[in-house]
Amino acid sequence: MKIKAAVTHAPGAPFQIEEVELAAPQKHEILVKITACGVCHTDDAARQQVIPVPLPAVLGHEGCGVVEAVGPEVTEFQPGDKVGISFGYCGRCHNCMTAHQHACENFNAINFGGVQPDGTSRLSALDGTPLATFFGQSSFATHVVVNEASAVKVQYDDIDLALVGPMGCGIQTGAGAVLNRLRPEFGSSIAVFGCGTVGMSAIMAAKIAGCETIIAVGGNPKSLELAKELGATHTINRKEVDDIVGTIKNEITDGGVNYAIDTSGVPDFVKKALASCRFMGTAVVLGATGDVTFNIQAELMGDAKSLIGIVEGDAIPKLFIPKLLDYYKKGMFPFDKLIKFYPFEQINEAFEESGSGKCIKAILRMDA
């Protein structure tokens, strides 16, 4: 079938909305009419080839929509079902079979290699040129074909389906790092570096978990104010405070936080996050980060600290996304305060405003 999709032809090039060909769903796949798709930093990292993906490609990995058709042997979904879409995984490796799909041994091949879990793509240009798939979905498009394992049924009729998209990556990454992996003790302390979607989701999750001290570190005064509204007990403007680590360890806490999360991917802030931790504290890296140099004895081992990386919030999306939606319904996870909607045709503007900090979470609406 012919659909419209935003195609990335060259590194850093603007998105071009074009008519492309989408093949029918195969075994265990579903055809979804996309309602909306979140704009994520990972999409831009792929477009810029910081994360190398085959080009030309259709990016987009925070899709949501309505099932239009199902392929052979699909048992979980039927036409008319509302779904959110998350990352792809093989379902066969040791990690997948022990409920760690976020650590699928074939994760990079499936999500960044330009193919579906079966090793093929469903997308092509009208002249037959293959188009790479992204995260097993390529949701910068009006329709996608995705493996049913990556889709999450949305049961609520009174939630705008367009809100569900970013739960497939950015929101579950931040919230899941706290609720699924760190599982902070009630009354503990946490510092979150970066007040974008991932950082704000971590802050809201820390409040749900009962952290007593929640410190937001960022450079946008409006975002820092919103962070306080969402649960931060303290904020630090990195542009105004010279000694961030000293402020955390000596002014806000007595010796440092139990946990620190860096969402920026900036090596200096990874180091600051680790330095902000108290003895036996844990620092988490959530952003795509390059080389970082540590003195292991002085900065890590000497204080019995831990430094860990977490992928996709250590989440099983089919279980975790419904839980987050339930928290949202109860007023405990107001992630809608992060969001600004854009028509699909304004995809380049959405990326520009996301990158400049004019909006925290941009969502493209294909149904606008």
Q: For 7-45, how does the pLDDT look when each residue is reduced to its tens digit (9 = 90+)?
A: 999 999 999 999 999 999 999 999 999 999 999 989 999
Work out the pLDDT band at 120, boundaries 50, 70, 90: confident
Q: pLDDT value at position 368?
A: 67
3-state secondary structure of 84: strand
The DSSP code for 11 is: T
The DSSP code for 59 is: -
Residue partners of 193: CB distance under 8 A and separation at least 6: 199, 217, 218, 260, 261, 262, 263, 264, 269, 272, 273
Mean pLDDT calculated for residue range 193-202: 96
Mean pLDDT calculated for residue range 200-220: 97
Beta pairing partners, 141 = 5
3-state secondary structure of 334: coil
Q: pLDDT value at position 286?
A: 94
Question: What residue segments make up the domains of the chain, in order of their start?
Answer: 2-168+334-365, 174-311
How much is the mean pLDDT over the chain?
95
DSSP 131-185: -B-STTT--SBSEEEEEGGGEEE---SSS-GGGGGGGGTHHHHHHHIIIIII-PP
Q: Which CATH number fits domain 2-168+334-365: 3.90.550.10, 2.40.50.140, 3.30.110.40, 3.90.180.10?
A: 3.90.180.10
Closest CA relative to residue 304, chosen from 286, 285, 272, 282: 282
**321 residue type, one letter:** I
Q: Report whether the peptide linkage leading into residue 317 is cis, meaning its omega lies within 30 degrees of zero.
A: no
pLDDT digits (tens, 9 = 90+) for 303-340: 999 999 999 999 999 999 999 999 999 999 999 999 99
Work out the pLDDT band at 125, boundaries 50, 70, 90: very high
Residue 188 has pLDDT above 80, yes or no: yes
Angle at 176 between CA 76 and CA 248, to 5 degrees: 170
Measured CA to CA, the distance from residue 182 to residue 58 in angstroms comes to: 34
Measured CA to CA, the distance from residue 43 to residue 31 in angstroms comes to: 22
Mean pLDDT calculated for residue range 341-362: 94
Measured CA to CA, the distance from residue 54 to residue 112 in angstroms comes to: 8
Percent of the chain with pLDDT strictly greater than 70: 100
3-state secondary structure of 255: coil
Residue 289 has pLDDT above 90, yes or no: no
For domain 174-311, give the fold: Rossmann fold (3.40.50)
3-state secondary structure of 312: helix
Element (H, E) at 330: none
Closest CA relative to residue 354, chosen from 21, 32, 42, 12: 42
Residue 115 has pLDDT above 80, yes or no: yes
Matching residue, tokens 């504290």: 281
Measured CA to CA, the distance from residue 285 to residue 287 in angstroms comes to: 6
Matching residue, tokens 């796949």: 29
Cα separations (Å) of 133 from 22, 53, 77? 11, 9, 22
Q: pLDDT value at position 303?
A: 95
Residue 232 has pLDDT above 80, yes or no: yes
